[in-house]
Structures are given as C-alpha cells and as structure tokens.
Chains A and B, each alone.
Chain A
Amino acid sequence: AMATPDDLRFQEFEAAADLLSADPNASTVSALSVSSTQAHGDVKLDLSEDEGGQEENSELLRGDKKTGAFWTFEYYQSFFNVDTMQVLDRIRGSVMPLPGKSFIKSHIRGNPDLYGPFWICATLVFSMAISGNLSTFLSQMGQPQYHYRPQFHRVTIAAVAVFAYAWLVPLGVWGFLTWRQSTERQISGYSFLETVCVYGYSLFVYVPTSILWIFPWDWLRWLLIIIALLISGSLLILTFWPVVRDDTKLTAFATVATIIVLHALLAIGCKLYFFQTVTPTITLNPTPATSPNHTAAASDIAKEH
C-alpha cells in the first residue's frame, strides 16, 4: 500500500497533527516547516484569539526562513530578506502605530530583518552627533570667544549608547518575557530577532526628532521628545502588551513601565548630552543619567548667560 503523506506525518511528528487539527486550513508546506522547526526546537503554538481574524499561519511559516547553520553566510542572509518597499512599509508603520495592531504581527509577519534596525541605529548616531554639533554652533555663533569645534568624539559616544540600547534592551526584554512564558505557560512570545526588529524600527522616529532639535528653543525640544515618546512608546506598548497582559497585573504593568522608562531615558539622555545649551567653559558630567541637581544647576547657569 502506498504510504500517504498523512501516514508519514502522523508517524513522525504528532504535534504537527495537533497543530493541523487546530487549523485545518494550514497547507502541507507549513506542516513540513513546522516539523523542521520542531527539529530545531523552535515551534511556537499561537492560540491567541486577540488578533481577530489574523491568520495563525504566520507563526507556522516562520520556520522555513532560516537556512543553514550559524556559521554559514546563508544564515545571515536570511535576516536581510527584505525589499525596499517592505522596509519603507515597516518604517511607515513605526511612525503610525495603529491601536489594536501589534507591529510584529502586522508588519514583520514572520520575516524579521536586521537591515532596518542596523541602519536606523547608524543613521541615528550620525544624526544626533551632527545635529548636536550644529545646534551648539548655532547657539553660540555670535559670541566672539567661541571657536567652532567639530566635537567628533560625540560620534563614538552616540554610537556606543545607541547600539548598546538597540541590542541589550531587546535582549533583556526578550529574556524576561521568555522566562515568564516558560513559568506561566502563556501564549507565545516573540523571538529575539523580532524584539530587536521592533526596537530598531521604534528608534526611527528619533531621527527626525534629533534633526528638529537643531532649533535652539528648549520648549520645542521637550515638546518633540514628548511627541516622539508617544509615537514610539505606543508602538512598543501595542507590541508587548498582548504578550504580557495574561501575567499578573503587577508584572504586566511593571514590564510595560520599564520599557517606556528605558526608552524615555535614551531620548532624554541624548537630548541632555548632545544638545546642551551651556557655554563651553562649563563642563557637564556627560553621562546620560545625570542627577537632577546637576542638570538643574547647569540649566540655571545657562539661563544666566
């Protein structure tokens, strides 16, 4: 008798049968990719109903994207499997977060890329350093003792801050969510790459913000920070809330609050460090987490001038 694909499937991977019974419309291709992801230990059961009509195939189809082992070039090529229109679409989605839609589900859809996060971070580094330099120049142009300085060391500092944030914070968030998932048996979280992807695209809105920070008015800068935080913060909240809300109320709120606070600290720290409105004779402590009396004293001295 001929062995049908059904026999083979049920023989080897019983979890695939469960998944198929959960979603009978899944094609055999996705079932095979489920089996391949199972071999890699990567299968995710997405039984959530909050997406209201969204397909669950996206989770199943994720498996066939990764090819090769991590020391082959193809493995890394799979993270750059995006077209121009896709990247632009993701950027558009990051500045217009729609309520009810998680960025990962609606835009990334199982194809996280590293192109966006990396080049957005690189752009942000240079836009902050250059805009900061320009704003210092513009605010002190008229003074006779001021001599223009390129302040190139700021690029290094900006690079360290931005890239560290873009990799370490998603690592922490992902690690925490995965740990909670495993202890609490919740709906699937996101993979590490998807978390990095969300964070990377959420930093995009800081690029035009940093360019607009060239204008020397402090109230404008704070207003811009608030707008940017609203946009990218809501993007992050909308993405992570569905994963976290089934946890205890305290953990859920604490997680979301931590995400927002870290994001705000990055923005405020960069603003304070790169866009100081003090004369060059006063040296500020250049760490982003300046204590409140330092900044208060510095801004007082700035106001006196």
Chain B
Amino acid sequence: MAEADESNKPLFAGLADVSISEDIPVEGQITVPVGPPAQDDEYSTLDEPVKDTILRDLKAVGKKFVHVMYPKKSSALLRDWDLWGPLLLCVTLALMLQGGAADKKDDGGPQFAEVFVIIWFGSVVITLNSKLLGGTISFFQSLCVLGYCILPLTVAMIICRLVLLGGTGTVSFIVRLIMVVASFSWSTFASTAFLADSQPPNRKALVVYPIFLFYFVIGWMVLTFSPSPTAGP
C-alpha cells in the first residue's frame, strides 16, 4: 500500500516487492543522492591533471620493475597486471637490436617486426600452453609476467651495446656472454617464481621449459647483436 515511502529510501530496499495498484496516487520525489562518491576503490580520474595520471601509471610500472629485479613470491605483479611495462621493454629491446649488421641484405639480425612478433607471439603461445596444461593463471596476468621478466635481458642489451662501443674482441665477447647468461637465468628464474605456483605440480617442468626456450632465444638475439662494420673505432 503505502510503499512509495519505502521506495524513496537510498538503498531502494524492497523495491522488487512493490506492487502499487493503479488507483492509489503515488507522490513524492525520487532522488539519487549525489554527493561524495562511495568508498570503493575506483574514484573518478577524469578530473585530475594529466601529469598525475601518467605518474601513477609510471609508478605502477616502476614498482613492478623492482619486483622483477628482486623476485619474491609476491602477488602484486599478478593482481594488478598491466601491459605498459612489457610494451615499453619490447619496444626498447627491438629498437636496440636495430642498427646492427642488418643492412639491406637479409643476412643480419632480427628486424624490428621479428623481435616484436617473437616476444608477443611467444608470450601468447606460452600462456596458452600453460592454460592448456591446466594452469590457473589468467591470460593477461601471464602475459604481464612474461613481459616484465624481459627486463634483465633489456638491461643486458644496454650493457652489451656499451661494451661493444669499446671494441669487438674476444674480451668483449666473454663479458657479453657472461652478462647474457646471467640475465637470461635471472629472467627465467623470476618468471618461474611468479608463474610456477599456478600450475599443477606434476606438470611444472612442462610449463617451465617453454619459458626457458623463450628467454634463451631472446638472450641469443641479444648476444649475437653485432655492430655494423662501418661503425667502429
């Protein structure tokens, strides 16, 4: 009967039970209280300055970088996945792999598109593989982890290019080899630390091997980068 009053309450409780017969006039005001937003996690980011938005995302990316460099079994990387970090790393790595012995003849190093395809397609394939084997991690979380764990190899690439500026002899090769082996092991170990828990225990090795292969190939690309013959001392 007089259930119109109840329908004005902010929580609209019992609204589903309301059945007002047609000869009872319903009066009143239905207003949705517009005030400070409810205390859930999302708040309106539409009005903040652009600098804040960018800085917040950069901070999130940076925090994940730190997590990769010191891999502990934290779930921060998994929970708030984002793909900015992997994109940044992938583009940086692909750009740094250019300008090598890659001239017009296709005998050189990987082209930009090849690096991109290997990293993204490789990550997708590994993720699909782990999901098909019964893993419980979500698709984008896995992409996020695999992409972020390229960080050690990107660092190694930067150092390799610096070393190559100093010469291309055997010593520089040994230094680069050690750097690449160390960073490839670091990448594999870091991503395994994040991903291995989500796998059934008797299939862990089946999931880890493709990750090993993936970082091995990227490490190979980093190691075999050789500067073009015209650039040199």
Contacts and interface: CB of A to CB of B under 8 A. Distances in A.
Interface of A: 73, 76-77, 79-80, 82-85, 87, 115, 118-119, 122-123, 126, 130, 133, 147-153, 155-156, 280
A189 B108 CA distance: 46
Contact of A147 (B101, B110, B209, B210): B101
B203 interface: yes
A87 B220 contact: no
Nearest to A156: B114
B78 interface: no
A152 B110 contact: yes
B133 A115 contact: yes
A152 B109 contact: yes
Interface string B159-170: 000000000000
A122 B213 contact: yes
A148 B206 contact: no
Contact of A84 (B109, B134, B202, B213): B202
Contacts of B216: 126
B110 A77 contact: no
A77 B101 contact: no
B229 A84 contact: no
Given A77-B132, A123-B213, A84 B206 contact: yes
Contact of A150 (B134, B203, B224, B229): B224
Given A147-B101, A149-B101, A84 B203 contact: yes
Contact of B226 (A87, A123, A126, A149): A149
Contacts, number: 72
B82 to A, nearest CB: 25
Nearest to B223: A150
Contacts of B109: 149-150, 152
A153 to B, nearest CB: 5
Nearest to A130: B220
B108 A150 contact: yes
Contact of B134 (A77, A87, A148, A156): A77
Interface string B104-146: 0011111100100000000000000101111000000000000
Contact of B107 (A80, A85, A130, A151): A151
A115 B229 contact: no
B229 A147 contact: yes
Given A150-B108, A150-B225, A83 B203 contact: yes
A83 B229 CA distance: 49
Contacts of B213: 119, 122-123, 126
Interface of A is mostly: helix
B101 A115 contact: no
Given A79-B132, A147-B226, 8 more contacts: A73-B131, A122-B213, A126-B217, A149-B107, A149-B108, A150-B221, A151-B108, A152-B109
B175 interface: no
Lowest 6 A-B CB distances belong to which pairs?
A80-B132, A150-B224, A152-B110, A150-B109, A84-B205, A83-B202
Interface residues of B, number: 30
A253 B124 CA distance: 43
A150 B110 contact: yes
A80 B133 contact: yes
Contacts of A83: 202-203, 206
B67 interface: no
Contacts of A147: 101, 226, 229
B93 to A, nearest CB: 14
Contact of A148 (B114, B205, B226): B226
A150 B222 CA distance: 10
A63 to B, nearest CB: 21
B129 A153 contact: no
Nearest to A87: B206
A76 B108 contact: no
A149 B213 CA distance: 22
A152 B108 contact: yes
A77 B111 CA distance: 34
Contacts of B210: 119, 122
Nearest to B204: A84
Contacts of B110: 150, 152
B171 to A, nearest CB: 16
Contacts of B202: 83-85
22 contacts: A77-B134, A80-B129, A80-B132, A84-B206, A87-B206, A115-B132, A115-B133, A119-B209, A119-B210, A122-B213, A123-B213, A126-B213, A126-B216, A133-B224, A147-B229, A148-B224, A148-B226, A150-B108, A152-B108, A152-B111, A152-B114, A156-B114
A112 B124 CA distance: 23
Contacts of B100: 150
A152 B221 CA distance: 9
Contacts of A151: 107-108
